[in-house]
Amino acid sequence: MSNQWKAVCNVADIPVLGARVVKRATQPDVAIFRNSEDAVFALLDRCPHRGGPLSQGIVFGERVACPLHNWSIELHSGCAVAPDEGCTQKFSVKVEDGQVYLDVAELNATVDEAA
């Protein structure tokens, strides 16, 4: 399936070592992160542990620490750092000319929550 990229913001709109929340029409929020290398990552804004909003966590290296119980989540995979277990959904991101794009098709796809 081809990507349907849509610009959501500029890289500069995300704080360095920080995140922004992207609202979706009906589905839960997506968090986009920016690290110190200006790499941008997108994850479902829910920690695999107790659903904490990852967008509110402290970003370091390529990880974010969940603000609720301090689980570390890998930004590139959405998975918890061992020995904790669990993954949150990750989303495709494209950065071009300082613009951050997300894939609308992916954003709108329904994900079976139980999976």
Partner 1 sequence: MKKLKLVMVGNGMAGVRTLEELLRIAPDIYDITVFGAEPYANYNRILLSPVLAGEQTIQDIMLNDVDWYAQNNITLHLGKKITKIDRARRMVVAEDGTVAEYDRLLLATGSTPFMLPVPGRDLAGVISYRDIHDTNAMIAAAGKHSHAVVIGGGLLGLEAANGLKLRGMDVTVVHLPGWLMERQLDPVAGRMLQKSLEDRGLKFLLEKNTRELVGDENGHVQAIRFTDGLEVPAQLVVMAVGIRPNTALAEASGIHCNRGIVVNDTMQTYDPRIYAVGECVNHRGTAYGLVAPLFEMAKVAANHLASFGIGRYQGSVTSTKLKVTGIDLFSAGEFMGGEGTEEIVLSDPLGGVYKKLVIKDDKLVGACLYGDTVDGSWYFRLLREGKDIGEIRDSLMFGEANTGRPGDTGHEGYTLAAAMPDSAEVCGCNGVCKGVIVSAIKEKGLFTLEDVRKHTKASASCGSCTGLVEQIIMFTAGGDYSAAAKAKPMCGCTDHTHQEARDAIRQNKLLTVADVMRFMEWRTPNGCASCRPAINYYLISTWPHEAIDDPQSRFINERSHANIQKDGTYSVIPRMWGGETSAADLRRIADVVDKYAIPTVKVTGGQRIDLLGVKKEDLPAVWKDLGMPSGLAYAKGLRTVKTCVGSEWCRFGTQNSTLLGQQMEKALARMYSPHKVKIAVSGCPRNCAESGIKDVGVIGVDSGWEIYVGGNGGIKTEVAHFFVKLKTHEEVLEYAGAFLQLYREEGWYLERTVHYLARVGLDHVKKMVLEDHDGRRALYERLLFSLDGLPDPWHEFDRAQVDARQFTPLTV
Site string for partner 1, 44-63 (x = CB under 8 A): ------xxxx--xxxxxx-x
Q: Are 63 and 72 in contact, with CB atoms under 8 Å apart?
A: yes
3-state secondary structure of 82: coil
With binding defined as CB under 8 A, does residue 20 bind partner 1? yes
Among 3, 36, 77, 92, binds partner 1 (CB under 8 A): 36
With binding defined as CB under 8 A, does residue 86 bind partner 1? no
CA 37 – CA 95 distance, rounded (Å): 13
Q: Which two tokens stand for residue 107?
A: 């954003």
3-state secondary structure of 77: coil
With binding defined as CB under 8 A, does residue 3 bind partner 1? no
CA 99 to chain CA centroid, Å, is: 16
Residue whose token pair is 């992160």: 33
With binding defined as CB under 8 A, does residue 23 bind partner 1? yes
Nearer Cβ to partner 1 (23/115):
23
Kindly report the number of other CB atoms within 10 A of residue 109's CB atom: 11
With binding defined as CB under 8 A, does residue 102 bind partner 1? yes
Which residues here bind partner 1, judged by CB under 8 A?
6, 8-9, 13, 15-18, 20-24, 29, 32, 35-37, 50-53, 56-61, 63, 65, 67-70, 72, 82-83, 102, 104, 107
